[in-house]
Structures are given as structure tokens and as C-alpha cells.
Chains A and B, each alone.
Chain A
Amino acid sequence: MAEATLSRPRALVNTPRAAKPRRFLMGVAEHSLPIVLCLGFALPLVVCFTTAFMTQQQSGTGSLWPSPWKFSNFREVFSAMPFGRDLWNTCLYAGLSSFGVIISSVPVAYAVARMKFRGRDAFFIVILATMMIPAQVTSLPLYVLFAKIGWIGSLKPLIVPSFFGDAFSIFLLRQFFLTLPQETIEAARVDGAGEFRILRQVVIPMARPAIAAVGLFAFMYAWNDFYNPLLYTGNSTTSQTLAVGLTQLAKSAHQSAYQLQMAASLMFLLPVLLLFLFAQKVFIEGIAMTGSKG
């Protein structure tokens, strides 16, 4: 509320004295709705955070403030579930697959955006169409295929496909490549640079923000992914990821131990929240872009 009135000093100076309280009240009215929404949005996260520090008796009750604060919950998580191993697997999956998405999608997006070849528009439509295919339609034969080559129970079914281009990333990158100045690319072509060299030395340096966005989205997708790890690594004791491990914890003997579930969830959410904090502009612009160009 204070922010609303203070940040408009010019308007305040110019208005007569009597209008001041009214303006203040307007500010309260304008801000009250988003503030109420913010409180609602924050509640589940607050519950998650405070429950993570509660004792077993206090967790899951109506109280929102831990008393006493029990920091050892976080240590207990490691004995209640193989948290360290799951974390390592999640990092492997998220790190390698986002790397794979970037190196395989950038050239495709460049070709679709900036190179001329026959059937290019049809090819782009095919890329968009693959986004509409539900995972359920492809996962049954892929499971059979991965079982045949002995990949079930390993991280390979999660990581390897990401090295073969991701439709959503190609789409996002293409939209960005279209905005790059045509003259720069043409000049490089006239100078006799090959397409791969143009891509490496001209386009990629200009497209760093978009590539970062695509990498971030791919990382988050893998970090949050539940369906694919459940199918392909589900019963494996060595390749389980955190998303699956957390649900196992919630189903196991620790079912009523809300404080352990929340401590584990908090450690699972925290990297994502930090990543968002540092790169929020990339995220929000990337999301806004998918809508405006869709």
C-alpha cells in the first residue's frame, strides 16, 4: 500500500490536499485484491516450509508455526529414503537431458527459421504437430523397445531421446531466430561462411538468452518429470529420481510423517525456486513468448 502511494510522487505533489486520502484509499483498493491472491498463493508453500521443521506430533495439525523447531528432520530424510542417490539421479537426468535438448534443437531451429529448403513449412508444421501427441500414445511401444534393449531400470530412456530434438524447444528457438537481423546472416553468407559456421559464430552468440531459456525449461521439465521416471525407472533401486522417491516416501511406513515428507519436498523444491529467483526474467519472458506467438 505504501509502495503504491510513494512511488507516484509527481501525482501527489500536483494534487490538492483533499485528494490525498482518496488517492491512498484507491491504492489500497487496487492492491488489496492482488495481496489477497498472493496470500492464497503463498499458503501451500508456507505450510510446506513450516511443517518441515515440526515434530511428528505437531505436523499435519492446524498450527502454522513450529514449536519447537526441529532441524533434524532434514537429516532424518536421508535415512527414511535414499535421498542422496535420488538427488544424484535427478541431477544426471536434468543436466544431461537439457544439454541434449540444446545441442540437438538449436541446429533444427536455425534450419527452420533461417535456411531455405523445399518443404520447410510442412516440416515446421510436423514439428508443431508432434507436440500434440500425448505421451500415453508413444510410451507403450517405447517401453517394449527399451525393455528389449535392456534399458528399463536405467536412466537411458530418459536421457537419450532428448538428444534427438525437442519440438517445444525448436519452436521457441525458431521464434527467437526469426527476430535476428537478416543482414548479419546474409553478410556472413556472402563472405562465404558455411551454415554451420554462421550458426556457431553469428547466430548462437546473438541467441544466448533464448538458448538459456530453452535450457532452463528443459532442466525444469526433467526435474519435475514424474511420468517418464515412473515408467522407465519405477521399480529400480538404483535409478530412481526424486519425484518418484518422494511419492514412495509418502506411501511407505513414513506415510503419516508429514514433517519428513515436507522436509524432503522442500529440498526438492528449493533448487527450482532458487533457479527461478536468479533467472525469473528469462522464465517470464519465455512463457509470455509461447503465448503471444502461439
Chain B
Amino acid sequence: MTAATTAARGPAGVAGRSRDSRVGRRRDPSKARWWVTLAMVSPFLIGLAAFVVYPVCATLYYSLTNFQEGSYRPVKFVGLQNYVDLLTQSDTFWIAVRNTLWMVIIMVPLRTLFALFAAWSISRIKSGAHFYRTLFFVPAIVPVVGAALAFIVMLNPEGPVNSMLARIGITGPGWFSDPNWAKPSLLIMALWAAGDTIVIFSAAMLDVPKELYEAADLDGVNSRQRFWHVTMPFLSPVMVFAIVTGMIYTFQYFTEAFVASGSASSIQSSSDLLGYPGQSLLFYSTELYQQGFVYFKTGYASAMAWILFVVIFVSTIGFLRLSKRWVYAAGDN
């Protein structure tokens, strides 16, 4: 790094001297000395080495051993044994995978569509849109733990929502205490907290040039065509952004599920019942937490972590590749 910057500075410094001789400056003023640059970026470089590069490599190494944090058993290299055990021996691993994929495949698109719908609902308003946008955003800043506890109260079987449903003659489900309804309950919570995505969509809708709408009106298009052929192309880049960040977040989905299953279950020490009810909320990250930080099977959990890393990486790159086909890049032409 340092050698490279010095080498790069060499010729530029010489050129600067001959060109800028009337100022008497020895170097191009827009090029800082290498040690100034290094000093500026050094906090991040140290952090990168200590908190990113080292742990990522160490996780890979752990995943090939039988390492157990806190155990005095000598660490043995076991090759791909952890990965083989995960894929063939473990039931909970596949339950966690299935639950997580449910969230990624159902929650991410629904959340994106819902945010699109909410942003559209305020885009038609001529005054007061700003007011609604602020209100829609509030749930997104509410701390997840507080929000989850509020949802547990709101959706408890005898709670406000079920009694409202009862008034119109519907018997409400058990929500967080029913294995079939626990994930949909989390889905409702995710829609509720979609404010950040709504704001991003809403800002993008404001960026659509007015002339395009006027031109579309002159051409006599209806409102649906207007949305699909004028608004949507401008939204496509931010939709890709929302889906990618939503996907990355959902693959690591943890806090909501942890709080929901921990607090809704009536078992006092629920550390080994993280998926309550009935393992329906056992997600990849909760299973990883349980293996790595409750049972301290560090090597085994490291293998899980690397699988997660690869899956996130591949699906992100894959989605970005796919999306290139239909994204309209307004700034790029």
C-alpha cells in the first residue's frame, strides 16, 4: 500500500515541478503526500484488518475444525466434516433453512410491493404528502425489540386485534402462539416497519421529470399505463436497491424472531426453545446463535456462517445480474 502510493506519486511530483515552477511548488497540490492519505484512511484499514478480514478468515478456519469455545479439548482439524454433518445429519438446520427461505421469498417481495403501494398512495396527493410520509416513516425508527413486544401485546390471542376481529364475526388466530400464524405475524410487523423503503420510493417518484407526465397526458395514456411506462422505469433502480438490501437483511433475520419466540412462549428458560411456537420461528440466524453461542459448537456454527455468507453473496450477485435486464438507468445515458 505505502510502496504503491509512493511510486505513484513519484512521476506526478516531477511533472508538477516542471509545470508549476512559477508557484515554486514541488508537487501537484491535489495529490497529498502518501503518509497524509494513509493517516486519513488508517482507522478504517485497521478496523478492516481486525474486525473484518481476520474474523472472516478465522471463521473459515474454525469451520474446518471441531473447535468449541471455552472447552479445553484440543482443537482438531476435521476437514469438511462440519459441512457434511450440517447438510446430512441435522434436522434443525433444514427447518431453519426452510423458514428463512419462506421469509426471503414471501416477505421481501410483499414488503417491497407494500412500500410501493404506500408511496403511490401519497404520490397522488397535492398537499399533505410530506405529513403522511413522516408518519409512515415513524415505525421504521421504532427499536425492533420495543416494536416486537408491542406486536406481541397487540396480537395476543385475547388482545386488541382479535377482539376487533370478533366484533365483525371473525375468530382471530393465535398469531405468535400458533405455528401456522407466527411467520405471517412477523410479516405484518415487517410491512408495518417498511417506512424506510416507502421514503426511498416516494423520493424516487418525485424525481420523475414532470415533462414526461405532461407528454404522457398529451398522448392520452391512462393512469395504469402512466404508472407502468413512466413511473416504473424511474423506480426500477431503487426497487433493486430495496430488494437487495431486504434480501440481505432477511437472510440474517434474527432480532424479531428471537424476541417473538422468546417472549411469546410460556416456558421460563427458553434458550433451547428459540423456534417457538413449534420451531416455526427457527431461522438460520437463530439456529446459528443457538449452536455457536448457547451450545458453543464454534466450528459447527462457523460452517453455518460460511454457508450463509456464500448464499448471500451468490444471491445478491445473481439478483443484480438478472435485474440488469429490466432496470432503466436514467443517469447513465
Contact = CB atoms under 8 A, between A and B. Distances in A.
Nearest to A35: B132
B127 A243 contact: no
A268 B143 contact: yes
A62 B163 contact: yes
Nearest to A252: B268
B141 A276 contact: yes
Contacts of B270: 251
A3 B127 contact: yes
A247 B263 contact: yes
Given A61-B158, A247-B145, A284 B44 contact: no
A189 interface: yes
B97 interface: no
- How many interface residues does chain B have, given as a range? 35 or more
B154 interface: yes
A47 B160 contact: yes
B306 interface: yes
Contacts of A262: 149-150, 153
Contacts of A75: none
Interface in A187-225: 189-190, 194-196, 199, 220, 223-224
A7 B143 contact: no
B127 A134 contact: no
Contact of B145 (A42, A111, A133, A246): A246
B44 A194 contact: no
Contact of B312 (A132, A139, A250): A132
Contacts of A4: 125-128
Contact of B160 (A62, A116, A136, A283): A62
A164 B308 contact: no
A134 B241 CA distance: 17
Nearest to A118: B8
Given A136-B288, A224-B143, A117 B8 contact: yes
Contacts of B152: 250
A284 B199 contact: yes
A138 B153 contact: no
- State the main secondary structure of chain A at its contact with B: helix
Interface string A135-151: 11111111111010000
Contact of A140 (B46, B132, B268, B292): B292
Nearest to B63: A140
Interface in A269-294: 269, 272-273, 276, 280, 283-284, 287-288, 290-292, 294
A121 to B, nearest CB: 13
A258 interface: yes
Contacts of A276: 138, 141
B52 A38 contact: no
A43 B192 CA distance: 10
B37 A115 contact: yes
B59 interface: yes
A45 interface: yes
Interface stretch (A14-22, A66-74, A77-85, A102-110): A102-110
A34 to B, nearest CB: 5
A37 B200 contact: no
Contacts of A181: none
Given A138-B56, A265-B146, A292-B203, A60 B31 contact: no
Given A111-B40, A294-B241, 5 more contacts: A61-B163, A104-B47, A133-B52, A163-B43, A226-B144
18 contacts: A30-B126, A43-B161, A48-B149, A48-B153, A60-B159, A62-B159, A62-B164, A107-B41, A115-B30, A117-B5, A164-B51, A186-B30, A195-B32, A220-B141, A247-B258, A247-B262, A273-B142, A283-B141
